Amino acid sequence: MSVTEATKTAETAAPAIYLRISNLWKSFGDFQALKDISLEIFDGEFVCFLGPSGCGKTTLLRAIAGLDLQTSGIVEQGGRDISTLPPAQRDFGIVFQSYALFPNLTIRKNIAFGLENAGRSKTEIAARVAELLDLVGLAAHSEKYPAQLSGGEQQRIALARAIATSPGLLLLDEPLSALDAKVRVYLRHEVKELQRKLGITTVMVTHDQEEALSMADRIVVMNQGVIEQIGTPTEIYREPKTLFVADFIGETNKIEARAAGPDSLSFGGMTLDSVAHGFAEGAEVVAVIRPEDVIPHRAGYRPEGPSDENGASNVIDVIVDEMEFLGSFWRTRLGGPRLGGIELVADLSINAARHLALTEGDAMTIELPAARLMAFAQTVGES
């Protein structure tokens, strides 16, 4: 293959950028809700804006929709600058947390509403509505009113209405948060499957970590009006770039520590190997390791091979202070003299706890893998 052919192949394989946000700011009086947001979303991608209440995720979604124009910055959709266009001139469908279905219209007429406004023929509207009712599995309910449907069914109708006109972009503003837990889990799968089937570029706002991790191709983690990190669910969870991301996504142990070298940390009188961190020796940092990354061993375990003067690098003798049964695993709180007053939380599988025959007060040995022990600056949000 020639260089020219290879270049063309690479260009063909690379996904096209469908939505581009550049240097976007949004102010409400003296309050800066969004601060210099820049982001690219690819054609057909499912992206979640994730963060705590007040982080700016809904404000960003509304800026994309034109419902609340940005103070400054550019929004481009499909290569077209839509920064100042009103919502009616933008190509999107939107689903709100409240569904916003018309209570006085049947399900069929709710879905048909946007098509009628677009001037479609009656035959075309009827065919499209029937197609969408089949797609969301509610064809038998076409003549019912919203109040006669469950919350999950109403949300599926809201989705059908949003995609009825075949928009290029689907915006979802916490669409599942009003549903109970089991329905929410079921609809997560349904919405993702629907998005894949349609190939529609989708942006969803959520504060639910599990929702974002299970549905998104990429997650945009936001905090106080800025983007903390953009990445795949695996990258966000396993390779957080800031202390905020490490702490906000999932459970984590946070330990006050010092940098002992370019890839080692000191705390509790111990020096442990860690992920390379770049902090100067002696710098005060926060050591982070997730509970499920703590490896359990029988008391007194020592690995074969080289060890440090304390017996073994990253291997610590501890006491089980507390065990909490959480169904699929045991959450254990660990202490003991070697930890120097630090409490560590470790999540142990049912099989591991059974194999080690652990009970509260037992001695055990744990291993903190260097590849999972990370360091961050003590100020939240800095890396």
Mean pLDDT throughout 155-176?
93
DSSP assignment, residue 146? G
Rounded mean pLDDT, 146-156? 91
Give me the mean pLDDT over the 6-25 stretch: 78
247: pLDDT confidence band, cut at 50, 70 and 90? very high
Q: Is the confidence at residue 10, as pLDDT, over 80?
A: no
Per-residue model confidence as pLDDT tens digits over 329-368: 999 999 999 998 999 999 999 999 999 999 999 999 999 9
Q: What is the pLDDT of residues 253-262, one digit of tens each?
A: 999 999 999 9
Residue 85 has pLDDT above 60, yes or no: yes
Provide the token pair at 196: 């894949």
Among residues 77, 100, 74, 84, which one has the least CA distance to residue 201?
Answer: 77
Residues 267-302 pLDDT 10s: 988 999 999 999 999 999 999 999 999 999 999 998
Ranges assigned E (strand) in the chain: 17-28, 31-42, 46-50, 72-77, 80-81, 93-95, 169-173, 201-206, 218-223, 226-231, 253-261, 264-267, 270-273, 284-289, 295-297, 315-325, 329-335, 344-349, 363-367, 374-377
What's the pLDDT score for residue 311?
42
pLDDT of residue 99: 79
- pLDDT attached to residue 344: 97
367: nearest Cα among 348, 341, 340 = 348
92 neighbors 169 (Cβ within 8 angstroms): yes
Sign of the torsion angle spanned by Cα atoms 53, 190, 61, 178? negative
Judge whether residue 13 has pLDDT over 70.
Answer: no
d(CA 360, CA 326): 16
Q: Is the pTM of the predicted complex or chain greater than 0.85?
A: yes
CA-CA distance, 70 to 64, in Å (whole number)? 9
If one counts every other C-beta atom within 10 angstroms of the C-beta of residue 288, the result is 23
More confident residue, 36 or 189: 36
CA 278 to chain centre: 27
What's the Cα-to-Cα distance from 20 to each of 12, 17, 37, 77, 95, rounded to whole Å? 19, 7, 10, 7, 21
225-246 tens-digit pLDDT: 999 999 999 999 999 999 999 9
- Asked whether 156 and 149 are in contact (CB, 8 A), the reply is no
Mean pLDDT of 40-66: 96
- Evaluate if residue 9 carries a pLDDT over 70: no
Domains and CATH numbers, the chain: 16-243 (3.40.50.300), 252-377 (2.40.50.100)
Give the 3-state secondary structure of residue 110.
Answer: helix
Q: Supply the mean pLDDT for the chain.
A: 91
pLDDT, tens only, 171-229: 999 988 878 888 888 889 889 999 999 999 999 999 999 999 999 999 999 999 999 99
The pLDDT-based confidence of 144 (bands split at 50, 70, 90) is: very high
Q: What percent of the chain has pLDDT over 90?
A: 79
Element (H, E) at 213: helix 209-215
Whether the pLDDT of residue 381 is over 50: the answer is: no
